């Protein structure tokens, strides 16, 4: 894992020819559309955090990884380029021993300390990268995808507040797409490793609980589900009026 955003390029995540053929068959019932049209101008971004506990306001954020979800010319979803960071615990942060034992992260490890970034610097670097993708896709906001997504969103929002980064934050404040729910619907599974295996995706338990690996696996799972479960026939064709549903109604965003 690295703290830079120079991970595998987006093209490394593109399906091979056999995969394209299989996924294209699953998606060809839908007319190709731009990514901005698929999620009401939201850019889906898979996020995973590793933390030193369960309390977003008192426990340290130690790792974060983000992967935007993109759509190719065949109408197939695929993971984009990852942005990730090892993060220095904020001043006064709680480091719960049981949480560190679970993740295997040692904040005082000299090798980790050599690559860890200040929380504000790391977040703003990642936010800048995501905003560039959002603009390229002509989307108005990012929406967080996660496995138990509100856990990740709570830590992200707390870090945004701590670092005074509200104006830099590209994410919707409360809306999420949760792969726990999607996996339960698609496979009857709620555990990430089991859902990935049900989808035919590799999952190495030895690499789990690293933010980058869990984000990559969640992104693959999210794309697999979208690519294999076409939208219902009346999707995106529901007529709306300003008196019924509006984009300014926060409860509907």
Over residues 229-244, the pLDDT tens digits come to 888 877 766 544 444 4
38: confidence class by pLDDT, cuts 50, 70, 90: very high
Give the three-class secondary structure for 232: coil
Q: Output the CA torsion sign for 204, 44, 136, 16.
A: positive
110 within domain boundaries: yes
1 within domain boundaries: no
CA distances, 208 to each of 53, 84, 139, 150 (Å)? 17, 15, 31, 19
**Which alpha helices (DSSP H) does 73-206 contain, by range?**
97-103, 110-115, 119-136, 149-162, 179-187, 192-198
For residue range 52-72, list pLDDT tens digits in order: 999 999 999 999 999 999 999
What is the Cα–Cα distance from 145 to 159, expressed in whole angstroms?
A: 17
From 115, 132, 112, 135, select the one nearest 124 (Cα to Cα).
Answer: 132
Using the structure block, give the residue that is written with the tokens 């060809």: 28
Active-site residue, selected from the candidate residues 150, 168, 172, 209: 209
- CB-based contacts of 212, cutoff 8 Å, min separation 6: 1, 7, 48, 63, 65, 82, 84
Number of domains composing the chain: 1
- pLDDT, position 205: 86
Per-residue pLDDT at 132 exceeds 70: yes
What is the Cα–Cα distance from 77 to 52, expressed in whole angstroms?
A: 33
- pLDDT, position 242: 44
235 within domain boundaries: yes
**Which range marks the domain in which residue 221 is found?**
10-252
For residue range 155-213, list pLDDT tens digits in order: 999 999 999 999 999 999 999 999 999 999 999 999 999 999 999 999 998 877 799 99
4 within domain boundaries: no
**Residue 150: CATH number of its domain:** 3.30.420.10
CA distances, 205 to each of 37, 119, 202 (Å)? 36, 28, 10
The model's pTM is 0.82
**Active-site annotation holds for 209:** yes
2 within domain boundaries: no
């Amino acid at each position: 894992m690295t703290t830079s955003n120079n991970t595998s390029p987006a093209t490394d995540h593109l399906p091979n020819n056999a995969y394209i053929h299989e996924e294209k068959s699953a998606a060809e019932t839908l007319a190709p559309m731009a990514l901005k049209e698929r999620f009401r101008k939201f850019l889906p971004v898979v996020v995973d955090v590793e933390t030193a506990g369960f309390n977003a306001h008192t426990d340290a954020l130690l790792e974060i990884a983000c992967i935007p979800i993109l759509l190719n010319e065949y109408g197939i979803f695929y993971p984009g380029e990852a942005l990730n960071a090892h993060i220095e615990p904020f001043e006064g942060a709680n480091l719960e021993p049981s949480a560190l034992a679970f993740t295997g992260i040692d904040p005082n490890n000299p090798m980790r300390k050599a690559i860890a970034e200040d929380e504000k610097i790391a977040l703003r670097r990642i936010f800048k990268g995501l905003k560039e993708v959002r603009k390229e896709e002509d989307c108005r906001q990012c929406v967080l995808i996660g496995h138990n997504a509100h856990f990740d969103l709570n830590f992200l929002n707390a870090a945004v507040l701590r670092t005074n980064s509200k104006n830099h934050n590209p994410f919707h404040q409360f809306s999420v797409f949760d792969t726990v729910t999607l996996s339960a619907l698609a496979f009857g599974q709620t555990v990430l490793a089991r859902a990935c295996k049900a989808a035919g995706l590799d999952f190495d338990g030895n690499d789990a609980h690293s933010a980058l690996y869990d984000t990559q696996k969640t992104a693959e799972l999210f794309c697999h589900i979208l690519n294999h479960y076409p939208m219902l026939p009346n999707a995106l064709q529901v007529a709306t009026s300003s008196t019924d549903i509006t984009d300014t109604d926060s409860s509907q965003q």
